[in-house]
Structure 1
C-alpha cells in the first residue's frame, strides 16, 4: 500500500512522522509534495527513502490513499487539477473540517473520507475523527481505521458534530496549553517559584492527570471530590474557578462555530460555482 501526502505543513508532517514512528508505514511507501517544495525536502532529509514528488500529479499516480493536507480554500482548485488522474480504487482523505466528504465526492470519481487528526497523534495518542463517503468501500474504511489505530483512537462522527468534536480533539490541546501557560505565569508572578520549576511541576502534573483519567480510576467529578478536602485549600481554589470561569467555554465554542460557519460558507460557494 502506497500513501500520498499533498501538503507537508504542520499537520501533514505530524501525520507522516507519527506513521513512521509507529512503524505502520515505511518511508519507501510514502509519496509527498508541497507547494513550497523545500518543506517536503526537509522531510526527505530526515527520511531519505521517502519519495519526494515535484508535482501533485506524481503523488496521485503512485498512491492508493492520498491525504489532502492543504487549507480549505485550496482544496477545490486542487481537486479540479487532479480529478482526471484519479481512479475509483483510490481514496482521497481530507483532514480539514469545513469540507464534507459529499463535496469531495461531487467532484471526483474515487472514494473519499475525512479524518480530522490532532497534534496529540504525534505522541501516538489522542483521538482521530472519521467521516466516510458513500462510495468508500469497507476495505478502505478498515484500512484507514487500522492505519490511525496505531497513532490514535479512531472515532466516527456525524457531520452535525464536526465542529464541536474538532474543538475538543483538535483545538483542545492548544486551548488547554494556553490555560496551563496562564496557570504557570500566575504561579511565577504571585510566588517565589521560578519559571523553570513551575513549568516542570505543571507539566508533570498534567501528564499524571492524563494517566489517571486513562486508568479509569476516577471520573472527572470524582477526581475533584477526591482531591478536595472539606474546608481545605483545593476547595477554595475551586470556588474561584467556579465563580470566575462563568460562560468562558460557551463563548469559546460560540466563537469557533462562528468562524467555522464562515469557512463553510466560502467553501460551499466554491463548490456551487
Structure 2
C-alpha cells in the first residue's frame, strides 16, 4: 500500500511517526509534501526510503491513500493542486474537523473520508474518529480502519458530532494535561515535593484512571464514589471542585464550537462561495 501525506506539521508528522513505529507502514511506502519543502525533506531524511516531493500533486499521484494534514484555510488550494491527478479508486483522508466531507466530494473525483486523530495515537492509544463520504464502500472503510488499528481504536462517528468528539478525543489530552499541570504545580508550591516526583506520581495516576474507565469498565462517577469515603478528605475536596468548576466545561465546549463555526464558514466560503450555518 502506498500512502501520501500532504502537510508534515504537528499532526501530519505525528501520524507518520506512529504508523512507521507501529509497523503499519514502511518508510518506502510513504510520499510526503509540505508548503516548505525543506521541512518535508528533513522528515524524509530521518526515514530511509521515504520520498519528499516538491509538489502536492506528486505526493498524491498514484498513492492508494492520501492524508490531507493542513490547516483549514489551506484546503481549497490543496484540492486545486491535486484534483487533476486523482483517480476514482483513491482515498483522500482529511484530518481537519471544519472541512466537511461534502466540501471534498464536491471538488475531488475520488473517495473521501475524515479521520480525527489524537496525540495519544503516538503511543498507539486513544481513538481515531472515522467519518465517511458517500463513495466509500465497506471494504474501503475496513481498509482505512485496519490501518488505524495499529495506533488507535477506530470509532465510526456521525459527522454532525465532529466538533464534540474532537473536543473529547483530540483536544481532550491538552485540556486534561492543563488541569494536571495545575495540580502538580500546586503540590510543589504547597508542600515542596520535587517536581519530578509529583509529575511521575500524577502521570501514573492518570494512566491508571484511564484504564479503570476503559478496561476496568468503570464510569467516572463510579471512580469518584469508590475513592471518596463520605465525610472523608477526598469527598471534602470534591465538594470544592464541584463548587469552583461549576459550568466551566460548558463554557469550554461553547468556546471550541464557536471557533469551529468560524472556521467552517471560512472553509465553506472558499469551496462554495457562500456562507452557511454548517454542522
Give the TM-score taking structure 2 as reference length. Answer: 0.95
* Mapped partners of 1:78, 1:219: distance in 2: 42
Structure 2 Cα separation of the partners of residues 247 and 222 of structure 1: 21
1:8 corresponds to: 8
Kindly state the Cα deviation for residue 138 of structure 1 after the two structures are TM-superposed.
2.4
Aligned to 2:76: 76
- In structure 2, what is the Cα distance between the partners aligned to 1:159 and 1:57? 27
**Residue of structure 2 equivalent to 1:187:** 187
SS at match of 1:54: coil
For 2:230 and 2:57, the matched residues in 1 are separated by: 65
* Distance across 1 between alignment mates of 2:231 and 2:145: 48
Deviation for aligned residue 1:136: 1.4
Who is 2:254 aligned against? 254
Measure, in 2, the Cα distance between the counterparts of 1:240 and 1:222: 19
Partners of 1:2 and 1:30 within 8 A in 2:
yes
Cα distance, 1:193 vs. partner? 1.2
Give me the whole-angstrom Cα distance separating, in 1, the residues matched to 2:17 and 2:34. 16
Aligned ranges 1:21-40 → 2 under 5 Å: 21-40=21-40
Shift, 1:221, TM fit? 1.4
Tell me the distance in 2 between the aligned counterparts of 1:200 and 1:216.
22
SS in 2 for 1:92: strand
Deviation at 1:42, TM superposition (A): 2.4
Equivalent pairs, count: 273
- Aligned counterpart, 1:55: 55
Are 1:214 and 2:183 matched, yes or no? no
How is 1:46-195 mapped onto 2 (pairs within 5 angstroms)?
46-195=46-195
1:100 and 1:251 map into 2 onto residues whose CA distance is 25
SS at match of 1:125: coil
Name the CA distance, whole Å, in 2 between partners of 1:217 and 1:107: 43
CA distance in 1, matches of 2:191, 2:216: 34
Cα drift, residue 230 of structure 1: 2.3
3-state SS of 1:106 partner: helix
Cα distance in 2 for residues equivalent to 1:13 and 1:92 = 17
User: What RMSD in Å do the two structures reach over aligned CA positions?
Assistant: 1.1
Question: Over residues 121-177 of structure 1, what are the superposed CA-to-partner deviations in whole Å (9 max), with x where a residue is unaligned?
Answer: 111010011111111122221110110111111111112211001000000000000
Query: Larger deviation: 173-182 or 202-211?
Result: 202-211
Aligned to 1:226: 226
Distance 2:218 2:86 in 1: 49
2:34 and 2:258 map into 1 onto residues whose CA distance is 30
- What residue in structure 1 maps to residue 276 of structure 2? none
Question: For the structure 1 residues 138 and 215, does the alpha-carbon distance in structure 2 shift closer, same or farther, using more than 3 Å as the test?
Answer: closer
User: Does the 8 A contact of 1:31 with 1:62 survive in 2?
Assistant: no
- Unmatched runs of 5 consecutive residues or more in structure 1: none
* Contact 1:7 1:70 (8 Å CA) reproduced: yes
